[in-house]
Amino acid sequence: MKLAANPFTRAIREKKKQIGLWISLSSNFAAEVVASSGYDWVLVDIEHSPNDFFSVLGQLQVFAATKTTAIVRPDWNDPVQVKRLLDLGAPGLLFPMIQTVEEAEKAVASTRYPPRAIRGVSGGTRATKFGRVTDYVDRVEDETTVILQLETAAAVGRAEEIAAVDGVSGIFFGPADIAADLGKVGKPMDPEVWGIIKPAAKKLIEMGVPVGTLVLDPKFAAELLNDGFTFVACGVDTSLLANAADDLLAQVQGELS
């Protein structure tokens, strides 16, 4: 049995536009509700949700039946957690809050085996289909998506060096935290935020680095993709549900006599 190809890793390498969705509902059932939408990728978030390894496992199983690639965000740049997520067969990882080249190198190292790096070894995991995947150690590093998230002005200032770290698949800009860092917590759409993200992204795109982000306005998401961003998430499941429920109630209330 061969390791399954990761279509998202290939797509962003080839700069094909990839539309994504944030998944925070932390349930394999709720994940399947959006799994049929046909997004190119989803972000199964641990950082700001109650998710644990069992719930992530259930969600990975859901997306394994689709063409959507599930990228998992650990709650920190934590090699122990990354080891376990890779063993669970996570096709890719989004590392939060990478601030320096050293942190970038640590992130990549947690996804590579010794002697070059530090990932712990287990042969009998879901990632290897419990020992059946014969080319796993040869191909896993090439298939696994490693995306680093820049979330402060200082990190954005080091975007080029960080992107140049060997093994990085792409760079993600985190508007909510960059806004906070600029003293504008709660205002991720503030022009100042995008005033630092856009030029940094432009340089990376020119360097050939796949660049991504999360925004909640579909027009703006498309605009960024049209402008050279490669992977852009355009919504969050919890917000979609909350807004849909609120809007529906308002619609009915608005029609009552």
Tokens 């029609």 belong to which residue? 255
**Is 222 one of the annotated active-site residues of the chain?**
no
228 binds Mg ion (CB under 5 A): no
Of 103 and 177, CB closest to Mg ion: 177
Q: Which does 101 bind (CB under 5 to 8 A by kind): a copy of itself, Mg ion, none?
A: none
Which position among 10, 13, 48, 184 bears the catalytic label?
A: 48
> Residue 108 in contact with residue 146, Cβ under 8 Å?
yes
C-alpha to C-alpha distance for 98 and 213, rounded to whole angstroms: 14
Q: Which of residues 98-157 bind a copy of itself (CB under 8 A)?
A: 113-115, 120-126, 129-132, 136-137, 151-152
Shortest Å, Cβ 164 to a copy of itself: 25
199 binds a copy of itself (CB under 8 A): no
Q: How far is CA 22 from CA 72, 124, 126, 218, in A?
A: 10, 30, 23, 13
C-alpha to C-alpha distance for 257 and 249, rounded to whole angstroms: 15
Q: Which amino acid is at 198?
A: K
Shortest Å, Cβ 148 to Mg ion: 12
Q: Which of residues 163-192 bind Mg ion (CB under 5 A)?
A: 174, 177
Of 126 and 198, CB closest to a copy of itself: 126
For residue 162, count other CB atoms closer than 10 A to its CB. 25
241 binds a copy of itself (CB under 8 A): yes
Shortest Å, Cβ 43 to Mg ion: 12
- CA torsion, points 198, 143, 62, 132, in degrees to nearest 10? -170
For residue 26, count other CB atoms closer than 10 A to its CB. 20
* Catalytic residue annotation: 48
